[in-house]
Amino acid sequence: MTGDLFANEPPRNLLPFDGKALLLRDIMPPDDADRTFARLKTGIVWQQEIARIHGKEIAVPRLTAWYGEVAYRYSGVYHPAAPFPSIIAPLRDLAEDLAGGGVSFNTVLLNQYRDGRDSVSWHADDEEVLGQNPIIASLSFGEERRFHLRHKKTGDRISIDLPHNSALIMSGETQHCWLHQLPKTARQVGPRINLTFRKTQSESR
Ligand SMILES: O=C(O)CCC(=O)C(=O)O
Ligand SMILES: [Mn+2]
């Protein structure tokens, strides 16, 4: 299906060492990408999560949703298994195709950044349930936003602009050695939707 997509320009590793990050552009026909963005925006039940930081309750600066074939504990909250909706199932197939290597994803975390004030701060997707050296396929639709990676030891920094209709595939030691964030921006930007597909081990209540 995506066999000849990258025939002209094979993606190169954007990390200098200790991991792999590939940016794949134009992952589907433009009309499909626009339709996917619109359907995700209106068809997903978006949640406003509240985080407790130093005893204060703070609205997380983005909207989120989670689906998975296995239960998952996130920020201390137990999420029971919730099957992929029909909008997401074909995106999972595409993500698996793009990630290569026979990977199968069973969970997805969605983020909606409504404007430049929405963000995600420095973190790594290094939870134990994701296993050693997880492959993460992160799909982007909507407004282009800048993504940063920062090496935990050397402080090396990489900036990647994540365009509409693209996938960032992170693998190898990336989650052990690098943090990532999507910072706020003062630019006037519209909404962006991100889906990070992961393979998660089942967690008990
Ligand atoms: O929006 C993005 O590109 C990153 C999202 C992310 O890092 C996450 O959900 O763990
Ligand atoms: Mn992440």
Q: Report the alpha-carbon distance of residue 75 to residue 67 in Å, rounded.
A: 15
The closest ligand to the CA of 182 turns out to be 1
The pLDDT value given to residue 204 = 61
Q: Where are the beta strands (DSSP E) in 44-119?
A: 50-53, 56-59, 63-68, 72-74, 77-79, 107-113
The pLDDT value given to residue 173 = 97
Rounded to the nearest angstrom, the distance between the alpha carbon of 136 and the centre of ligand 2 is 9
The pLDDT value given to residue 203 = 67
Rounded to the nearest angstrom, the distance between the alpha carbon of 179 and the centre of ligand 2 is 8
DSSP 94: H
The pLDDT value given to residue 72 = 80
Atom of ligand 1 nearest to the CA of 64: 9
Q: Does the 20-39+61-198 domain belong in CATH 3.30.70.1230?
A: no
Other Cβ atoms less than 10 A from the Cβ of 136: the count is 23
Query: Strand, helix or coil at 33?
Result: helix
Residue 18 region by backbone torsions, left for phi larger than 0, else alpha for psi between -120 and 50, else beta: left
The pLDDT value given to residue 114 = 98
C-alpha to C-alpha distances, 93 to 3, 37, 97, 121, 124, nearest whole angstrom:
14, 17, 6, 28, 24
User: Could you give phi then psi for residue 204, rounded to 5 degrees?
Assistant: -85, 160
* pTM value surpassing 0.75: yes
Rounded to the nearest angstrom, the distance between the alpha carbon of 1 and the centre of ligand 1 is 26
Chunked into runs of 10 residues, the chain (205 residues) has average pLDDT values of 60 97 98 98 95 91 94 75 94 96 92 98 91 94 98 98 98 97 98 96 69
Give the start-to-end residue ranges of the domains of the chain. Answer: 20-39+61-198
